[in-house]
Amino acid sequence: MIKVRLAEDRGHVDHGWLKAAHTFSFARYYEPTEMGFSDLIVINDDRIAPHRGFGAHPHDNMEILTYVLEGELTHQDSMGNSETIKAGEIQLMSAGSGVVHSEKNGSDHPVHLLQIWLLPNEANTPPRYQQLELLDNQKQNPLTLIVSPNGEDQSLQIRQETRIYAGGLTATGSLDIPLKEDRFYYFHLAKGELSLNGHRFKAGDGARIYDETQLMLSATGLSATDLSAIETTSLDSDKTVVAEFLLFELRPYHEPRRG
């Protein structure tokens, strides 16, 4: 089963300095049929104006992933971390027993990011901070593990039975991903367009996935006109991606649950 969540159906807010699209219910956006999927409860697609951002505020018992797509974001927290997260970098903050942090765009250019929240599998643990930069050879891979329970393959370590993969397709690329029978998946297309098991996806589209054995991703299903209209991002002199996505491997629950 592939249940598509179209980008235009998300909750959209415009605060002037912040333009955001919420995949699931968040803050003032409430949709009872979109409260999360398994342990994944937030995917916010945020665009922050120059020299603006989120002031210091608290979190607890949440795994918070920030993936910067364009620009850069300055992070500060009560653990003493002060870091800049640049495009292509990923931050994982495990709020645990409690942390206060701020996220601001200190540059003269807008920043585009995904902020993602997942429920942890244990409560009131010591808070911690991790950051990952995808290396050039990893960026060229169609699928790279960026988050896992054990930190395998140099991924960030999350306090949950979740694996998160970052992927990209070139204009002529395709990718077949075998799926585990006892797991649920969520797919989010961050940039570009592609075909997933016959469904056409554009930036911001997502999908709940379960009772499927394989994902078949392809950019070759797009017409020449489609491809020419896509804003591409050069990864190196030989390859250009036309689609960037995240794939979440999750516990097999339709609704969020703690523990």
- Of the candidates 190, 36, 54, the one whose C-alpha atom is nearest the C-alpha of residue 117 is 36
- Asked whether the beta carbons of 48 and 113 are under 8 A apart, the reply is yes
Residue with tokens 């009772």: 211
Torsion of CA 59, 64, 70, 74, to 10 degrees: 40
Helix (H) or strand (E) segment spanning residue 45: strand 40-48
Q: Within a 13 Å sphere around the CA of 108, how many CA atoms are in the beta-carbon half?
A: 0
Question: Where are the strands (E) in 2-78, listed by range?
Answer: 2-5, 11-14, 18-22, 40-48, 52-59, 63-70, 72-77
**191 three-state secondary structure:** strand
Q: Which residues are annotated as a binding site for Fe cation?
A: 57, 59, 101, 103
Distance, in Å, from the CA atom of 208 to the CA atom of 249, rounded to the nearest integer, reads: 11
∠ CA 107-109-111, rounded to 5°: 90
**107 three-state secondary structure:** coil
- Asked whether the beta carbons of 84 and 113 are under 8 A apart, the reply is no
Sheet holding 63-70, edge to edge: 11-14, 18-22, 40-48, 111-118, 63-70, 89-94, 128-133
Distance, in Å, from the CA atom of 59 to the CA atom of 90, rounded to the nearest integer, reads: 19
Q: Which residues are annotated as a binding site?
A: 57, 59, 101, 103
